[in-house]
Amino acid sequence: DGGITQSPKYLFRKEGQNVTLSCEQNLNHDAMYWYRQDPGQGLRLIYYSQIVNDFQKGDIAEGYSVSREKKESFPLTVTSAQKNPTAFYLCASSIRPNEKLFFGSGTQLSVL
Amino acid sequence: RKEVEQDPGPFNVPEGATVAFNCTYSNSASQSFFWYRQDCRKEPKLLMSVYSSGNEDGRFTAQLNRASQYISLLIRDSKLSDSATYLCVVYKSGNTPLVFGKGTRLSVIA
């Protein structure tokens, strides 16, 4: 079945550690996105990519990094510079920027 | 004015009730509109796209009012399973990403 796979489902980070969240899609979508959601809050855009080897910062990119070396994959690294990383992270993809989004099941990141 | 605004609720309604949410958007050039449903700690799922002529899917009806720059979602005969947060999503133009509202929380009570 086609879809978006995020892993892991739960992730724990120690102080000063970088961690990477995986996002893979087999929908052949050009555009991919990373969102952060805090409890009781809406989705905030971290980074997005509309084509391989290109990506743009969203509203809250500081402390995060991404790469888009393959169409299917858009990993997100939460660096030690992100001082408040505890949140629910959602990856999404779409055929084009103006089309509906398909979401992965999310990764809950917590700080030890 | 925020790009996309929603009343956060919660809307607490009895089973069988009809409930409506509105969502206002600031950019008059916005082109595409969607309603998503999100359950607690789950990913958002597309409920319906919103077309200029309005659209209906079973108990759900979505409407677009370009003159007043808002979209609406009407849920008839509410079920307990409709309890969720409903997210309004707007696409402006060009290659800009979709913009999400913060969501409206609905609780349907037995």
Which chain B residues have a beta carbon less than 8 Å from that of A101? 36, 44, 46, 89, 98
Q: What is the pLDDT of residue A90?
A: 97
How confident is the model over A4-9, as a mean pLDDT? Answer: 96
Q: What is the pLDDT of residue A40?
A: 80
- Answer yes or no: are the C-beta atoms of A64 and A81 closer than 8 Å: no
Q: Is A103 on the interface with B (CB under 8 A)?
A: yes
Q: With a cut of 80, say whether residue A96 has pLDDT above it.
A: yes
Tens-digit pLDDT profile for residues A15-73: 889 999 999 999 999 999 999 999 888 899 999 999 999 999 999 999 999 999 999 99
Q: What is the pLDDT of residue A48?
A: 96
Shortest distance between the Cα of B102 and any Cα of chain A, in A, equals 4
What residues pair up with A27 in beta bridges, in sequence order? none
Reported residue count of chain A is 112
Tens-digit pLDDT profile for residues B79-95: 999 999 999 999 887 77
Q: What is the pLDDT of residue A19?
A: 95
Q: Is A23 on the interface with B (CB under 8 A)?
A: no
The burial class, CB within 10 Å (0-12 / 13-18 / 19+), for B94 is exposed
How confident is the model over B85-110, as a mean pLDDT? Answer: 91
Q: What is the pLDDT of residue B60?
A: 97
Q: What is the pLDDT of residue A1?
A: 62
Across chain B, mean pLDDT equals 93
Alpha carbons B72 and B74: distance in angstroms, whole number:
7
Alpha carbons B84 and A17: distance in angstroms, whole number:
35
Q: Is A97 on the interface with B (CB under 8 A)?
A: yes
Mutate to test the interface with A, among B4, B42, B98 (most CBs of A within 10 A): B98
Q: Pick the closest to residue B83 from B33, B8, B15 (CA basis).
A: B15
Tens-digit pLDDT profile for residues B27-68: 888 888 999 999 998 999 999 999 888 899 999 999 999 999
**What whole-number percentage of chain B has pLDDT above 70?**
99
Cα distances (angstroms) measured from residue A48 to each of A75, A97, B83: 11, 10, 30
Q: What is the pLDDT of residue B95?
A: 75
